[in-house]
Amino acid sequence: MKPEQWAMVPPPPGACPECNTEHDPDDAHNVVSMHYHLGFKGRHGRWPTWEDAMAHCSPERQNAIRTALKALGLPNDPREARRERCKLTARAKALRL
């Protein structure tokens, strides 16, 4: 491996290959996961947002997530989301996102 190259450790069995987090397939990817951020940035050239993390979800699930995010005042900007990681995780767990 060249010095400027890097590789991520594969997710453990049962974890989502996109975000390295165990979640239902119709739930959003873990938007504050470093694994998700780096993988998304490598593929798309930009950081992911909540909209990206829930793009694969059903329309009903997406609406539920948007409603919860709005009610909590959570940022869609992933850089801000990462700074707020601890608070976001606690709030999301409380709402079972």
The letter for the amino acid at 66 is R
Task: Compute the least distance from the CB of residue 1 to Zn ion, in Å.
Answer: 26
Tokens (6 digits) for 90: 């606690």
Tell me which residue has its CB nearest to Zn ion. Answer: 16
- Rule CB under 5 A: choose which of 3, 6, 18, 97 binds Zn ion: 18
By CB under 5 A, what part of segment 34-93 binds Zn ion? none
Helix (H) or strand (E) holding 40: helix 34-44
Using CB under 5 A as the binding rule, whether residue 27 contacts Zn ion is answered as no
Phi-psi sector, 23: left (phi>0), alpha (psi -120 to 50), beta:
beta
Q: Which residues in this chain contact Zn ion in the complex, by CB under 5 A? A: 16, 18-19, 29
